[in-house]
Amino acid sequence: MTLNALRQTAEAMVTPGQGLLAMDESTPTIGKRLKAVGVDNTEDNRVAYRTILLATPGLGDHISGAILYDETIRQSTTDGETFPALMQRQGIMPGIKVDTGAKELALNAGEKVTEGLDGLRERLEEYVGFGAKFCKWRAVITIDEDKPSRACIEANAHALARYAALCQEAGLVPIVEPEVLINGAHMIETSYEVTVETQRQVFEQLYRQGVQFEGMILKPSMVISGTDCPQRAGVEQVAEETLRCLQQTVPAALPGIAFLSGGQSDEQATQHLNAMNQMATKLSLPWRLTFSYARALQNQVLETWRGDASKAEQASQALLHRAKLNSLASIGEYTPEMER
């Protein structure tokens, strides 16, 4: 695929007023979320739940693409239609998570490096056959007294860059996700410093691996105080520090940035995105700022459904409502009154 084609796909992923639905939870992870609402982690239940998500009428008006798990891209809905075919009907591009998870980093206790490069070229060819248009790889960076180490940042940045290069070789747009975890008691100033250093290293490695910035999407953390911080920053400060971080680290050639929600509440994730887009208009930033949320879109869906088929339509409406609010936030037109 040419760079122009990659650019077109990347730009479509961040179409104004649209974002991404992250529904790429592994089987154990989705099992934890199902268990929390009293639902068994069976394949039938996973298919039923994911059918609710992707079959939601009108979802394609607010969601440009959805990130799937390996199991999901191979499955069919409860009505027998393949998930990629359903997504095509909905106007939603199929994406796929291709990393195999974060594992302990040797000689660095408490830090992780994401694996999955072995055999990736062949897996990407298979996913193209299933209709995938883009991929995702997540790295995890922990903040603590002596963390992150330079070794952790560099190892993850290198892996992200090698993954991204393979994706573009296969004609797939890579979503590059260096997540700085929100866990901890750190102040927003520490979050800023770690996020800047992480993103600088990531883009340095992307450049060295020959990745074309015009044909990729960044999925970063927002610059935010740790969950246990006694003085947590407000919405405006989070927006200001996050945009300042982007200005320090992200090349202008990038089509867009799709933020992860990273442990925030549904409302917080929407409020922060909205504040950033309102500020971005005044700053004339070169990238589109949107969302790639998982739990911040799915929480209310699971709570509503709880495995009850009679609640499927109501659960779909919960997803559509949340998607609409984040769609408005992605163009700076959300207000808290809309939550009611």
What amino acid positions are annotated as catalytic residues? 177, 219
* Nearest-angstrom CA–CA distance, 118 and 203: 22
End-to-end CA distance of the chain: 45
Residue 32 — φ and ψ, nearest 5°?
Answer: -65, -40
* Nearest-angstrom CA–CA distance, 323 and 326: 5
* Nearest-angstrom CA–CA distance, 34 and 32: 6
* Nearest-angstrom CA–CA distance, 98 and 96: 6
Token representation of residue 174: 């890579």
Token representation of residue 183: 């866990």
Cα 92 to Cα 23, 68, 101: the distances in Å are 13, 12, 25
Token representation of residue 31: 């099992």
Whether the CA torsion 51, 29, 264, 21 is positive or negative: it is: negative
Question: Which of 152, 125, 128 lies closest to 140 in space, CA to CA?
Answer: 152
Helix, strand, coil shares, percent, the chain, to 5: 50, 15, 35
* Nearest-angstrom CA–CA distance, 338 and 325: 7
Reported in sequence order, the residue ranges of the chain that DSSP labels E, i.e. its strands, are 19-22, 63-68, 93-97, 102-104, 112-114, 134-141, 173-180, 217-218, 256-259, 288-293
Angle formed by the axes of helices 27-36 and 43-54, to 10°?
80
